[in-house]
Amino acid sequence: MIRVLALLLALLYVSAPVLAQTEKDREDVLRIFDSWNQGWANRDVELAVQDYADDADWTNAFGDRFQGKPALTEGLRLIFGLDFVMAGDSAQNEYQDVRFLGPDTAVVRSKLVRSGQQRSTGELMADRHINHLRVLEKRAGRWLIVSHLISQAHEKR
């Protein structure tokens, strides 16, 4: 009986952080993607970066890395000013998987398809299948992106 009770207490202790997440936490985390997507669509840097932590680390599919929100802000000002990069449209996310690792940590994977983007020469790129991996922390009651890695899936041979 004591072993069963100890096992139940251990399971409750291990699962407590996951159970501590509320539907509001999930909604708050998913809302962040609306800000990013709308910021990207409108070339609105401030909206795109509003949910990043001051010490965020961001790397895109081309290997450009920005460490810290000020560097990311300046980097996105440059990127948003490149018409060939901003050409085209991003289809709705194919998926957005939210996984809470604890009461203050979440990992979100998402995938979207970007059509109509161009190369710097103006040549049309094939549809890009873009994966995002974001790590979020809840700081002072607010979810913030602390790490964002963007990768591109290429056609399998």
CATH code of the domain covering residue 110: 3.10.450.50
User: Is 11 part of any domain?
Assistant: no
Residue 57 is encoded by which pair of tokens? 């680390």
**Structural domain of 33:** 21-153
User: Is 28 part of any domain?
Assistant: yes
How does residue 3 score in pLDDT terms, banded at 50, 70 and 90? low
Query: pLDDT tens across 30-52, in order?
Result: 898 888 888 988 999 999 999 99
Segments of the chain assigned E as strands: 52-59, 65-67, 89-90, 95-102, 105-115, 128-139, 142-153
How many domains are contained in the chain? 1
User: Is 3 part of any domain?
Assistant: no
Q: What's the pLDDT score for residue 18?
A: 47
User: Is 2 part of any domain?
Assistant: no
19 or 155, which is more confident: 155
User: Is 14 part of any domain?
Assistant: no
User: What is the chain's alpha carbon radius of gyration, rounded to the nearest angstrom?
Assistant: 19
| CB contact set of 20 (below 8 Å; sequence gap of 6+) | 103
Q: Is the pTM value of this prediction over 0.85?
A: no
**CA 2 to each of CA 6, 13, 16, 40: distance values in angstroms, whole numbers, following the listed order:** 6, 16, 21, 56
User: Is 13 part of any domain?
Assistant: no
Query: pLDDT tens across 130-157, in order?
Result: 899 999 999 999 999 999 999 988 766 5
User: Is 30 part of any domain?
Assistant: yes
How does residue 9 score in pLDDT terms, banded at 50, 70 and 90? very low
User: Is 12 part of any domain?
Assistant: no
Query: pLDDT tens across 49-72, in order?
Result: 999 999 999 999 989 999 999 999
